[in-house]
Amino acid sequence: MDHSPDGPSVVDLESGRLRGAVEEGITVFRAVPYAAPPVGALRWRPAQPHPGWSGVRDATTDGPSTPQMYTEGGDPVLGGHGFPPFDDDCLTLNIWTPAADEGRRPVLLWIHGGGFVSGSGSLPIYSGDTFARDGDLVVVSINYRVGPLGYLYPGAECDGSQDGEGQARAGNFWLTDQLAALRWVHENIARFGGDPDTITVAGQSGGAISTAALAGHPEARRMVQRVILQSPPLGLHIPDPAEYLERTAAYLRFAGAKDTDELRELPWPRLIEAAGALFGHTTRWGYWPTPFLPVRDGVTLHEHPARTLLDEAAADIDVMIGWTREEANFGFALDERYAAATREQVVARIADVFEGDAGQVYDAYARTRPGARSVDVLMDLITDELFRVPGVELAEGRAAAGHPVWAYQFDLPTPVYDGRLAAAHCLELPFVFHNFDKWSHAPLVRGIDPAVRDGLADAMHRAWIAFVRTGDPNHGGLPTWRRYGAESRTTMRFDSVVTSVDDLAGHSRTLHEARTRP
């Protein structure tokens, strides 16, 4: 920390000097580079070290977000999940700290979600000030490459490396970004008042997949003590290189390029335009759209991220995992294309993933919702297969091995759109961050009773702080939250009344024991 006339918000790093700002008592550093700009020849290359800078770098304003699709006016659920300016030069992070001193405070590293195609660590909804202020934590949020710039898999040409048969090798540039950011935090966060030996990585949705992938990375694992997985879509099929290259070929056609070299010559808006076309090409009825995915390349990612926290090497990592009760309502409840879904259509969709009588599975889902429509059964199916059941399976696996894991389900519904969204994907976020003032643009949170909202937000926010600080989410405002065990299967239900429930997801867990395994 520099106590010179430059002021208390100037920090010296090996890469250069940074000047932050004090915002409502919290010292904030914005748009701090953690890797070299991935432009020109560095497009579709692993993240490289930043060369540094001379003089004092201003870190008081947000930098550009990673290029992504953007619609003026936003969407009907979140009101938007990424806003201009966008630029290729986007590999930066933000830091919130009570003081850039020698306090060695626990560190929370937040990885945003967004279906692998959207989001930014600079969004106000992900501001770390509440955690820094309420928990005496140092909080870091990151920007990383999404969409085609982060998740396109070009094959062997991407880094010039091949195996003995010329097969494709390294990919997952998003993961190399996140690893570079984690490495930067581990090496530098002590200068911002943080403890590099007490780092919790947390993420939601695609960011939770990232968190799991990092926890399984040999280098990252040594730097991570705890992870929080909010709504990880662990049920996604993660393709191998051969599978992904078919998708890459389609993307090249949409972009009008014959190879990656030609793609590198295109301006990023053209790349994003082609990504929109890939959406239509890969969308399947009744499935969450994912035009871009991680790839099991055998170099940066060796196995499905769902497996990484079951390995013995991850045994000592503290894990919190949870989901919302109606995750899939986020993407399907307001879509008129699904409102008229028939029983026959949904039964056919069930047959994709279940052995045996799909009609019986449909009926089992319908019985859990009085007056259920076919689209309701479909949404419950997608919630289970993509989020809830694989989350439970991860908790079951860790519990059986005696590894620490806490589980939760978020149940509070939002009343907006006549309640059709219910407890949808993303709804827990403003409660976890306890920052509803930052969500005024989001229809998702409208109409929630303020008394219920604020009480639940306090309970969840404090639980997250307790977990980051101690590895245990219990605090005085909660019922006792026991670790998920092979017998009790304790799960915390976050609703207008917070309760601890044994085997909360038992119906889904037992029903999906008959589903087809990949």
Residue 322 lies in a domain: no
Longest Cα separation, the chain:
75
Is residue 147 domain-resident?
A: yes
Which helix (DSSP H) or strand (DSSP E) does residue 11 occupy? Answer: strand 10-13
Looking at the DSSP bridge assignments, the partners of residue 95 are 29, 140
- Residue 86 makes CB contacts below 8 A (sequence gap 6+) with 64, 65, 66, 67, 68, 70, 268
The answer to whether 327 is a known catalytic residue is yes
Q: Is residue 323 part of a domain?
A: no
Please name the residues in contact with 423: beta carbons below 8 A apart, sequence gap of 6 or more. Answer: 324, 325, 326, 329, 410, 411, 412, 413, 414
Instruction: Per residue of the chain (518 residues), give pLDDT as tens.
Output: 444 434 568 999 999 999 999 999 999 999 999 999 999 999 999 999 999 999 999 999 999 999 999 988 889 999 999 999 999 999 999 999 999 999 999 999 999 999 999 999 999 999 999 999 999 999 999 999 999 999 999 986 544 444 434 344 789 999 999 999 999 999 999 999 999 999 999 999 999 999 999 998 999 999 999 999 999 999 999 999 999 999 999 999 999 999 999 999 999 999 999 999 999 999 999 999 999 999 999 999 999 999 989 988 888 999 999 999 999 999 999 999 999 999 999 999 999 999 889 999 999 999 998 889 999 999 999 999 999 999 999 999 999 999 999 999 999 999 999 999 999 999 999 999 999 999 999 999 999 999 999 999 999 999 999 999 999 999 999 999 999 998 899 999 999 999 999 999 999 999 998 775 54
Cα 212 from chain centroid (whole Å): 9
In total, how many domains does the chain have?
2
In this structure, the answer to whether residues 392 and 504 fall within a common structural domain is yes
φ, ψ (nearest 5 deg) of residue 229: -110, 105
Helix H or strand E segment including 176:
helix 173-188
Strands (E), 261-334: 318-324
Q: Which residues pair with 22 in a beta bridge?
A: 27
Q: Is there a single domain that holds both residue 147 and residue 60?
A: yes
Residues of the chain by 3-state class (helix, strand, coil), percent to 5: 40, 15, 45
Both 296 and 363 in one domain: the answer is: no
Q: Dihedral through CA 352, CA 353, CA 355, CA 359, nearest 10?
A: -70
Q: Are strands 499-502 and 490-494 parallel, antiparallel or unpaired?
A: antiparallel
Q: Residue 343: count other Cβ atoms within 10 Å of its Cβ.
A: 14
In-domain check, residue 234: yes
Task: Examine the residue annotation and report whether 425 is marked as an active-site residue of this protein.
Answer: yes
Does residue 343 sit in the same domain as residue 216? no
Instruction: Judge if 378 and 353 occupy the same domain.
Output: yes
Cα–Cα distances (Å) from 55 to 2, 13, 35, 37, in that order, read 14, 11, 18, 19
Which domain-ending residue is among 270, 291, 314? Answer: 314
Q: Please tell me which residue in 141, 205, 231, 508 is annotated as part of the active site.
A: 205
Question: Do 137 and 208 sit in the same domain of this protein?
Answer: yes
Whether residue 404 lies inside any domain: the answer is no
Pair 221, 304 in one domain: yes
Among residues 304, 425, 461, 475, the one annotated as catalytic is 425
Q: What is the pLDDT of residue 4?
A: 42
Which of 286, 314, 342 is a domain's end point? 314
Q: Which two tokens stand for residue 22?
A: 């004090």
CATH of the domain at 467: 3.40.50.1820
Note whether 213 and 152 are same-domain residues: yes
- Dist. CA 63–CA 36, nearest whole Å: 14
Residue 188, domain extent: 1-70+79-314
Reduced to 3 states, what is the DSSP secondary structure of residue 116? Answer: coil
Residue 350 and residue 294 share a domain: no
- Which domain-ending residue is among 279, 314, 349? 314
Evaluate whether residue 324 is within a structural domain: no
* 336 shares a domain with 302: no
Quickly count: other Cβ atoms within 10 Å of residue 370's Cβ: 6
d(CA 39, CA 67): 12
Classify residue 360: in a domain, yes or no.
Answer: yes
Give the Cα separation of 95 and 296 in Å (integer): 31
Active-site pick, 65, 112, 327, 475: 327
Give a yes or no: residue 320 inside a domain: no
Which pLDDT does position 377 carry in this prediction? Answer: 97
426 and 515 share one domain: yes
Say if residue 19 is in the same domain as residue 104: yes
